[in-house]
Amino acid sequence: MKPLQGKIAVVTGASRGAGRGIAFELGSAGATVYVKGRSVRGAVTDNRSETIEETANGVTSRGGKGIAVRCDHTSDTDVRNLFGQIEREHGRIDILVNSVFGGSESSMPSGEGRHFWERPLEHWDAMMVAGPHAYLMTTRYAVPLMKQHYKGLIVNLTFFIEDKISGNLYYDLAMNAINRMTLGMAKELKDFNISSVAVCPGWMRTERVIDSGFGPEDGTTETTAYVGRAVVALATDSAVSNLSGDAVMVADLARQYGFTDVDGTQPLPFEG
């Protein structure tokens, strides 16, 4: 019996990147995973080839069950319909992973510089609407399908560097909004035995990063499986409520739970 056999998971932004890596690892642990995103066969986004159908197939091939559902998580109608479908098909959700994000600068106007006053307002909209707003709206519809069986885990993908600005100002505000949201969710959901944890990957070798050739100065990178294994570790921990409300680094979770990246290493946190 796989550790998450019979569990129902939802992963947003799962056509590529961290979402895909998380969906794959949940599948390896035996979960049924609703794979969500906007990129489908014949209608991809950001000039990328990856699709949610590919991710769902990967979940199934790893021993879980992948279910691809197109969903724009900035659309209330799409999100409401999605959870209506899950309620009809399974009646509950055990794990929600929010990993959708619209802040990829390669798909937005470049502006006239990198200072906040030089950036187009599209950057703010992309990072805040297809970020904290999408997380909150998705969780709002997911919670009723968790609290009815008095159990659940919400994982919010985020980032932070203590006492530093993470990336640019808009990005930093978006990530810290997610971190604060996680704390507020944990407080309000405690009485329903639902935990909310913000998980912070390091410098991941996503498809976009690999194609661009970018990387940190010290060369420390990790695969998207690393954050996926962090989510599985949280989902299989009966005492996960001890971390509810916290923002935790994947690298710290690796040491706490004893998992590694695919090459057997435990990459250190990214602090650039």
- Active site members: 171
Most distant CA pair in the chain, distance: 55
Residue 40 β-bridge partners: 43
Burial of 31 (0-12, 13-18, 19+ CB in 10 A): buried
Instruction: Tell me the Ramachandran region of residue 259: left when phi exceeds 0, alpha when psi lies from -120 to 50, beta otherwise.
Output: beta
Closest CA to 65 of 22, 29, 111, 21: 29
C-alpha dihedral over 237, 238, 242, 247, to 10 degrees?
A: 30
Residue 121's CB: how many other CB atoms inside 10 A? 10
Distance CA 103, CA 105 (A): 6
